[in-house]
Amino acid sequence: MKFDAPATTNPIDQLKVVGQPVDRIDGPLKTTGTARYAYERHDAVPNAAYGYVVGSAIAKGRIKSIDVAAAKAALGVLAIVTAENAGKLEKGRLNTAKLLGGPEIQHYHQAIAVVVAETFEQARDAGQMLRVDYDREQGSFDLRGGMDTAKPAGITAGPPDTAVGNFGSAFAAAPVQLDETYTTPDESHAMMEPHASTAAWDGDKLTIWTSNQMIAWGVGEVAKTLNMPKENVRLISPFVGGGFGAKLFVRSDAILAALGARAAGRPVKVTLQRALVINNTTHRPATIQRIRIGTTRDGKITAVGHESWSGDLTGGKPDGAVSQTRMLYAGADRMTATRLAALDLPESNAMRAPGEATGMMALEIAMDEMAERLGMDPIEFRILNDTQVVPDVASKPPSQDPQAINNREAQSPSKDKPFSQRQLVQCFRTGAERFGWDKRIAQPGQVRDGRWLVGIGVASAFRNNQLTKSAARVRLETDGTVTVETDMTDIGTGSYTIIGQTAAEMMGVPLQKVAVRLGDSSFPISSGSGGQWGGNNSTAGVYAACVKLREMVAQKLGFNSAEAAFSDGEVRAGNRAVPLADAARDGSLSAEDAIEYGDLDKKFQQSTFGAHFVEVVVDAATAEIRVRRMLAVCAAGRILNPKTARSQVIGAMTMGVGAALMEELVVDKRVGFFVNHDLASYEVPVHADIPHQDMIFLDETDPMSSPMKAKGVAELGICGVAAAVANAVYNATGVRVRDYPVTLDKLIAKLPAVG
Amino acid sequence: MKPFTYERANSPAQAAASASRVDGAKFVAGGTNLLDLMKLQIETPKHLIDVNGLGLDKIEETAEGGLRIGALVRNTDLASDKRVRKDFAVLSRALVAGANGQLRNQATTAGNLLQRTRCPYFYDTNQPCNKRQPGSGCGALQGFNRSHAIVGASDACIAVHPSDMAVAMRLLDAKVETVRADGAVRSIPIADFHRLPGDTPQVETALGAGELITSVTLPKPLGGAHFYRKVRDRASFAFALVSVAAVVQRDGSGRVALGGVAHKPWRVEAAEQKMPQGAKAVTAELLAGAKPTEQNAFKVAVVERTLGAVLAEAKG
Ligand SMILES: Cc1cc2nc3c(=O)[nH]c(=O)nc-3n(C[C@H](O)[C@H](O)[C@H](O)COP(=O)(O)OP(=O)(O)OC[C@H]3O[C@@H](n4cnc5c(N)ncnc54)[C@H](O)[C@@H]3O)c2cc1C
Ligand code: SF4
């Protein structure tokens, strides 16, 4: 189905099932431990051996030799695979470094071997027996040191640099100016389930039960890496214990499980130990961001400039921290620039809202600072500079071919393109009332509650909505139930549920009559999960398949498909009503289709908006910062399931608190690795850090996005949160911290004396 | 994890005797620290002696009016004991500030005293660490040391002792009771129990090889107002950047001990004479000779300010 004209009324608008806050249909499986994850597929693979991945002890250099003798002779060891005996391996298109290193080493904990044994303990012990002799080389590990030699590099959402008007002279002429630099650290996805795969060969056919967000990409990557035809690769990933972008890509667990299984002549399962999740896989890169804003005396932005530096291995990509600055606020003269420094740290890549998450951390502090300089309320300052058209070059819609993700060329300018929907102002107004913003005292350090200094802060939320092709198969079974099959993944987001709701609404059956099967590469190719594109696109694909199935049913039952209504398990037109199941009396009916997009997203900028409100308290003595309450107001198209969508947003808010207050992969700039590579030392929020969260979805349907009229929401929730926290800390203390995370050591020296 | 043999000991004397008989033996109690370290091969005992069945899990009153805490008393049980909560509240508060509920249910009194540092270089066997591998160097000294020691450290090691419980015990002048292989028992004042790193950071306590902790005794209650303030980046389930344990009497006299600043719970009795003069004076003496790094210099201010807040609260 081609979606190339704005959506009109369709069966989804009935909202009998879609739009309802139903419980997630996979919930009982998860709460009873019967949802099987990639490392637990004893049902499918009863005899898997265990693979243990050994990571490089150096960040850069070469392996001179690996002595495997002791490991090979160890109890229970079945096989050891290193680059020496793995055969020729290609690098995946979506990987920057090789998944099996050697002799060249590209980063710390790059996999250099997998040891396969009868038990996990045997494999791990033998893995620690490898004697590896390295030639170390000095690498570059310091982003600040790499700034001078950093090069322009395109971001996923467009060209590296943009310029409108003459920023330099407009900024110089602006009566009120801000020129500040902000930094954000490297961050780990820290999802609960580490990367894990179980691989089994049947002749030259390979099946990998894995934990992956993008099944079709994964098939292509496995096939390319192992030099085999795609047809011989099957990926199965029905449950994913969190991904946040870490599992967009095939990582060493999958490839080494496959190689280990081939070498051992037996299925092998591999999970990455947490240290390897952090240094072996991808992470969100650190950024240094310079922001300049010039305004008139009454607060109109006349010039805005945003430059960002981040680092990656050679061949990698920069963080897209400047992308929202091209779209969020008005201002005639503007520039953005993106520079990439070559670093020898583990490869960086997407993490929840890549680009906007880091960009908003900086931009939204800058807006708060600017409002203060102007003596304006930060909400009023933002509202004054709202724009209903894109003021700069907007983001490019993603390619229809998921395999081409790395090949997006720079796009043509899209200045003055209108937004399909933009309720930023309404988000602020609604939130201000609910949160009690009017009680804020603009002058910082004024509110005290016992030992606590109290402050509130606000920030915009912004994230683009991306359209991408998505297919599904829908089958009317002979018993009148409906089965949906698509390779879409549910990474904890609620995909099972909203897909079930879509099919139920379309086919006029209760949700209980719909079976949803996901995450198998033998199913039609979906959008997959990432970039907050999964919800809208995957359900739109199911919608397309359902439209086709409805036509088949109508034809079978002798209805005119344009007139037939599907509800309560029946098909009706005029006075005639026939049970839906009758259509499958002679055998099940199956329809497959995909949603494909025209150029609506070229004519209209599709983005999601929100406002974050945060109250923090800061211990007047210790400078410990604790969040007291949070509110997010989101305008993100139709909310397909308010319950699962709310979970996504409050989870994202939690992650935003982590980014604000504690998350930091600490780089040892001598050795070149992330030092705090476990969950005891890489701190993420615990329950005690998140006492109260509130959230509101504004009513919105976006006919430009898809027949579902929905957009993404799961990443919107994180964008801006950290800045709202940092702004609240400023309001509480009068100390402006521009280097995340905002920790007590950055405040304490500037707090008033105790007692 | 290296293969090891396992034995369940039936009496303290037998446990100590086995430990001295088998080379490379270790006791295992709750296992919450030892097993993690074994998985990473930071600890590689050849023989494990399970001490959970020794009957050392009681809290008894001593003739002097204090408490004898069995080595195997779980952190949760100790923290919730009525006598501890009433007379040794600082200990109870320190315990519940540590780790999380599940860990405290499993962790034991002796195991907690003997838990090893959380220095990240100690945990990564690719990195130099004099504590893990004597003579290999110290990764933290010029590396990431935000959470490391500011006082009492050496060029060989700047790690801190991570325990909360031990800080309160140091404040209370607890004694560690042990039994050796030959059956000899002794009582080690907690001040002498943990050591500073010096040139041998791998030697962390006064315990001899195979020496078993049987109990920890607390002298009679001190009275006064009890405080345990643990300063950390997140609200729970995080090790202390700094912790301040204090008992403050009505007349302003009292005691103070610190966690998160040294290789052992840090207490300087002489500094306590300054308590009536306020936090600044006490801190100056407590941290005299402190040599913080650039990354952890903030801890000095945290100590002084937190102590200041405690003293202010004690005054009411
Ligand atoms: C994620 C995490 C967070 C934590 N957070 C904190 C925290 O915030 N604050 C805090 O204080 N602690 C914290 N801990 C540490 C925890 O308190 C210790 O792991 C626990 O107290 C160790 O007790 P155990 O009985 O499990 O010791 P084990 O692991 O069994 O043993 C530890 C050591 O003690 C020795 N040992 C045990 N019993 C005896 C005995 N009777 N005589 C002689 N030697 C003995 C063992 O041989 C071993 O060397 C944390 C731990 C984890 C894993
Ligand atoms: S501080 Fe101590 S524990 Fe840490 S690396 Fe140095 S020697 Fe090892």
Determine the distance from the C-alpha atom of residue A487 to the mean position of all C-alpha atoms in its chain, rounded to a whole number: 18
Residue A619 and residue A744 in one domain = yes
Regarding whether A204 and A115 lie in a shared domain, the answer is yes
Q: Is the pLDDT of residue A411 over 90?
A: no
Tens-place pLDDT, residues B78-127: 999 999 999 999 999 999 999 999 999 999 999 999 999 999 999 999 99
Minimum CA distance residue for ligand 1 atom 17: B112
| Contact (CB<8Å) A677/B120 | yes
Verify that A574 and A471 share a domain, yes or no. Answer: yes
Q: Which residue from A262, A260, A195 is spatially nearest to A50, judged by alpha carbons?
A: A260
Ligand 2 binding pocket mutation candidate from B141, B145, B160, B261 (most atoms within 8 A of CB): B141
Distance from CA of B218 to the nearest CA of A (A): 30
Shared-domain flag, residues A454 and A571: no
Average pLDDT, chain B: 97
Are A132 and A220 in a shared domain?
yes
pLDDT score for A137: 98
Contact assignment for A686 to B241 by CB distance below 8 Å: no
Of residues A421 and A398, more confidently modeled = A421
Instruction: Tell me which of A567, A587, A602 is where a domain ends.
Output: A602
pLDDT for A396 beyond 70: no
Q: Quick one: tokens of B89? A: 């509240």
CA dihedral sign, ordered A147, A148, A152, A158: positive
| pLDDT band at A531; cut points 50, 70, 90 | very high
Per-chain mean pLDDT for chain A: 96
Backbone phi and psi for residue A533, each to the nearest 5 degrees, phi listed first: -95, -10
pLDDT band for A398, please (50, 70, 90 cuts). very low
Q: Which of A356, A364, A615, A715 is catalytic?
A: A715
Is A471:A524 a contact under the CB 8 Å cutoff?
Answer: yes
Q: Is residue A545 part of a domain?
A: yes
Residue type, A562: A
Per-residue pLDDT tens over the stretch A68-90? 999 999 999 999 999 999 999 99
Per-residue pLDDT, averaged over A309-319, amounts to: 97
Which residue of chain A has the CA closest to B307?
A: A621
Contacts of A58 in chain B (CB under 8 A): 126
User: Hey, are the CB atoms on A620 and B302 less than 8 Å from each other?
Assistant: no
pLDDT on residue A676:
98
Q: Supply the ipTM of this predicted assembly.
A: 0.97
Q: Is A414 helix (H, G, I), strand (E, B) or coil?
A: coil
The residue out of A566, A587, A602 marking a domain boundary is A602
Do residues A585 and A455 share a domain?
Answer: no
A124 CB near a chain B CB, below 8 Å? yes
Q: Is B153 helix (H, G, I), strand (E, B) or coil?
A: coil
* B 264-283 → A contacts, CB under 8 A: 278-279
3-state secondary structure B178-216: EECCCCCEEEEEHHHHECCCCCCCCCCECCCCCCEEEEE
Condensed to tens digits (0 to 9), the pLDDT of residues A339-393 reads 999 999 999 999 999 999 999 999 999 999 999 999 999 999 999 999 999 999 7
User: Per-residue pLDDT tens for B59-83?
Assistant: 999 999 999 999 999 999 999 999 9
pLDDT of res. A9:
97
- Chain A residues inside the 8 Å CB shell of B305: 621-623, 748, 751, 754
Question: Cα–chain-centroid distance for residue A723?
Answer: 19
pLDDT at A746: 98
CA distance A527 to A536: 9
Q: Structurally, how many domains does chain A consist of?
A: 3
What's the one-letter identity of residue A697?
A: F
Under DSSP, is residue A605 helix (H, G, I), strand (E, B) or coil? strand
Predicted confidence (pLDDT) at residue A405 exceeds the cutoff of 60: no
H or E element in which residue A227 lies: none
* A648-684 pLDDT per residue, tens: 999 999 999 999 999 999 999 999 999 999 999 999 9
| Residue A230 belongs to a domain | yes
Enter the tokens of residue B44.
Answer: 């590689």
pLDDT tens across the length of chain B (316 residues)? 899 999 999 999 999 999 989 889 999 999 999 999 999 999 999 999 999 999 999 999 999 999 999 999 999 999 999 999 999 999 999 999 999 999 999 999 999 999 999 999 999 999 999 999 999 999 999 999 999 999 999 999 999 999 999 999 999 999 999 999 999 999 999 999 999 999 999 999 999 999 999 999 999 999 999 999 999 999 999 999 999 999 999 999 999 999 999 999 999 999 999 999 999 999 999 999 999 999 999 999 999 999 999 999 999 8
Last residue of a domain, one of A574, A602, A630: A602
Same domain, A551 and A522: yes
CA distances (Å), origin A183, targets A607, A657, A725, A739, B144: 25, 16, 15, 5, 18
State whether residue B33 sits within 8 Å of chain A by CB.
no
What tens digit of pLDDT does each residue of B282-301 get? 999 999 999 999 999 999 99
pLDDT of A156 reads 80
pLDDT-derived band at A395, boundaries 50, 70, 90:
low
Q: What is the DSSP letter of A158?
A: B
- Structural domain contains residue A384: no
Structural domain includes residue A307: no
Would residue A330 count as lying in a domain? no
| Whether residue A696 is found in the same domain as residue A715 | yes
What tens digit of pLDDT does each residue of A235-245 get? 999 999 999 99
Condensed to tens digits (0 to 9), the pLDDT of residues A705-724 reads 999 999 999 999 999 999 99
Contact A553, A583 (CB under 8 A): yes
Selected for mutation to probe chain A from B227, B232, B243, B305 (highest A CB count within 10 Å) is: B305
Is residue B229 within 8 angstroms of chain A, CB to CB? yes
CATH number at residue A271: 3.30.365.10
pLDDT at A408: 36
Task: Count CB atoms within 10 A of the CB of residue A587.
Answer: 9
The sign one gets for the Cα dihedral A703, A704, A708, A714 is negative
My answer on whether A542 and A553 are in the same domain is: yes
CA of A107 to the centre of ligand 2 (A): 23
Residue A384, SS3 per DSSP: helix
What dihedral angle (degrees, nearest 10) is formed by the CA atoms of B167, B170, B172, B177? 120
Domain for residue A711, yes or no?
yes
Is A474 in the same domain as A455? Answer: no
Cα B244 to Cα A735, B303, B310: the distances in Å are 25, 7, 9
pLDDT recorded at residue A196? 98
Distance CA A114, CA A83 (A): 10
Q: Which domain holds residue A508?
A: 2-33+467-602
Does residue A452 sit in the same domain as residue A551?
A: no
A715 is catalytic: yes
CA proximity to A479, closest of A452, A517, A513, A456: A513
List, in order, residues 6 or more apart from B59 with CB less than 8 Å away.
B67, B68, B69, B70, B73, B77, B78, B81, B83, B84
Q: How far apart are CA A684 and CA A660, in angstroms?
A: 10
The answer on pLDDT for A394 being more than 80 is: no
Residue A560 has pLDDT above 70, yes or no: yes
Q: pLDDT tens, A152-181? A: 999 887 899 999 999 999 999 999 999 999
Q: Do residues A454 and A490 both lie within one domain?
A: no
